[in-house]
Amino acid sequence: MSGAADSIGTFAGATGVGALCLLGIFLLLDGRAPTLFPTFEQYASTATWGIVAAIPVLAIAYVVGLVLITASCVAVRGSFGPTLLDEAADTARVSYVSAKESVLAQEYLRIKQERDVLGGAALALVVLAAGALSETANLSHLRSVIILAAVGTLIAALALFYSAGMKSRQAHVFASVSSQTKQQSP
């Protein structure tokens, strides 16, 4: 994967995670103060607001996504391993892979990036489920549907967190194989 494509993927993953979390926060706030957002909606309908607000919201989503990804990495390492020290050693091992085996290094980096996005998305889905539950006061006629959707979202968050843990283990195995490949080279 080229550097530019890798950067775009990193940005898109963190921004997507952050956008999910911001939606959850929006729902939380709307559920607690239903009269707060009609004012914003009035301004948001103008073209000027769309231009002025789009870039800052995108930047905030990216930063929130990075924070969630960082927090999820700590949680995934604590739950599934490897430790931060082992992960640093894995990265060092993969960095010694020759250009001939560079596919292995690229796969290692791709797997780690997927782990990060999966873990961050798991945390964002928890916030989204909490936001949805806070909307039950505003949408009491949809209470059972909202609760069912929130439970489904929490189950999806658990599945994503577990998948992130499996990706973490998979990356560790790839790094271990890279050191064996190096030893086998003539």
Give the total number of structural domains in the chain: 1
Q: What is the pLDDT of residue 66?
A: 95
Q: Average pLDDT, stretch 136-158?
A: 95
Domain that holds residue 157: 3-184
- Nearest in space to 144 (alpha carbons), one of 157, 156, 154, 135: 135
Q: What is the pLDDT of residues 94-135, one digit of tens each?
A: 888 765 667 888 888 899 999 999 999 999 999 999 999 999
CA separation, residue 160 to residues 5, 17, 136, 151, 153 (Å):
24, 12, 25, 14, 10
pTM for the whole thing? Answer: 0.85
Band of residue 5 on the pLDDT scale cut at 50, 70, 90 = low
CA distance 133 to 119: 22
Three-state SS at 46: coil
